[in-house]
Structure 1
């Protein structure tokens, strides 16, 4: 545990030093997968692990279930009344110029200025983690020019321009939403699955889309692994399919169930937890992929 913890701290110190010397984009990671496989739990634990290494983290909740605040340990009585940006009628009208729910028509500001969004609506979890609850427009068709989508599109573009921090976005379940507007500007994806055919099929589809949309580094997290048979099954399902930057098998762990909704306790606690240890390895692979991308950019012919 200590060796991996120190390795993350070393990697993140290097990351901060590079950012100080040559300020840049930071790490932008989108987390996707089938519903119920543990996307939100993974996002919360990764946020805590990067924060443990001293990095500033912006966790973005795009899932309409809005469970990320609970998983990050925000008080339940306050988390349950958070209004996502997609339903913040006054902010939508202020920025877009058309009331929420107006649908098509009207003079929308398609690129509203939203640089105040994190300062106004970001939730401080601790000294290193902030949370932005976006929500999603679940009833809107693809490309709908409604006020809600105009606002969320601008917020996504602004988030991608923020610098010198780790941005982790927990997306809604499935792949229907996973398009260019969602993924553009994100350099890495974490695809979460379980050792089942249905979950892995969604994961492989998500990974293929991520590659097509220009996300170079796609990491696979196989969650809730109970046996070597689960690992062999996943390897069999993945035979000849998408090639991932890294693959991580996360053991099924009762402590996760017992600690819900605040799963950060498995990172912050003193005892070693196998889920946290496995995800520490993922953090190291994300840091390594980020460093490789920087080297490729620097060495690319102009």
Structure 2
């Protein structure tokens, strides 16, 4: 089943896209798991669920599962029960998890929390669900082994010169992690010749273009999931193109 990671700079609309794609896949009968991998936790509320405990805070369980005798770490701790017990199911059946903070270089990369969280991601990759990962701007903390299980990396960009710079960084990270397929979603689109020229310069497949729309701000102000208020036609197109790209060899 399709495994998707969504990346882009902060505020570009990754979480909105992740939530609406999860909604559309679940509506169409797929089993869906959505994981918030961003340190600023927004995906649960965008999917209409509350009080999902970050898995990085399960300190006692992490100690029990990861640390073996003589201080040796287990690379593949048992996590399937944690996956079931510390997730929430929203009102249309999407399983929602919050990863929490993965430590990065200089903070002690190889630590129990990282081993545990990466085991969670590996477990998610091998489940027979559509998997949607709402990533931070960087995707390097996926780890190479987990990243190989990602079918498509979606780069969300806004129309502007910095979009190309952001896309370049995402391309490099994807190459380092051996992710083969990148699809681009242009968000907050405003029709103009310069924007059209910019989009025309993107070499990767354009999965879809989402016009600038105040409804996303309104949904946030009313604390409603965006799929309750906003036009879903652009997202339907993205979903269709995403499935097509995911099936390509």
| TM-score, normalised via structure 1 length | 0.74
Structure 1 residue aligned with 2:29: 54
Does the aligned pair in 2 maintain the 1:44–1:72 contact within 8 Å? yes
Instruction: Say which SS state the counterpart of residue 190 (structure 1) adopts.
Output: strand
- Quote how far apart the aligned CAs of 1:69 are: 0.5
Measured on the aligned residues, the alpha-carbon RMSD in Å equals: 2.5
Render the CA deviation track for 1:51-84: whole Å, top value 9, x for unaligned.
121111100111111110011112xxx33xx331
Q: How many residues align?
A: 247
The reply to whether residue 153 of structure 1 matches residue 153 of structure 2 is no
2:236 to 280, 294, 298: 280
Instruction: Say which SS state the counterpart of residue 35 (structure 1) adopts.
Output: coil
The reply to whether residue 34 of structure 1 matches residue 9 of structure 2 is yes
- Quote how far apart the aligned CAs of 1:45 are: 0.9
1:252 to 212, 230, 246: 212
Does the aligned pair in 2 maintain the 1:55–1:128 contact within 8 Å? no
**Structure 2 matches for 1:197-212, cutoff 5 A?**
197-212=161-176
1: CA distance, partners of 2:124 / 2:184: 24
**Structure 2 matches for 1:1-302, cutoff 5 A?**
26-74=1-49, 78-79=50-51, 82-97=52-67, 106-138=71-103, 140-141=105-106, 144-163=109-128, 165-174=129-138, 177=141, 179-229=143-193, 231-235=195-199, 238=201, 243-260=203-220, 262=223, 264-266=225-227, 268=228, 273=231, 276-293=232-249
Does the aligned pair in 1 maintain the 2:27–2:92 contact within 8 Å? no
Gapped regions of structure 1 (runs ≥ 5): 1-25, 99-104, 294-302
- Quote how far apart the aligned CAs of 1:187 are: 0.8
| TM-score, normalised via structure 2 length | 0.88
2: CA distance, partners of 1:176 / 1:249: 26
Distance 1:142 1:35, change over 3 A: same
Distance 1:281 1:162, change over 3 A: same
- Quote how far apart the aligned CAs of 1:255 are: 0.6
Does the aligned pair in 2 maintain the 1:58–1:168 contact within 8 Å? yes
- Quote how far apart the aligned CAs of 1:207 are: 2.8
Instruction: Say which SS state the counterpart of residue 116 (structure 1) adopts.
Output: helix
Instruction: Say which SS state the counterpart of residue 186 (structure 1) adopts.
Output: coil
Does the aligned pair in 2 maintain the 1:108–1:147 contact within 8 Å? yes
1: CA distance, partners of 2:241 / 2:102: 33
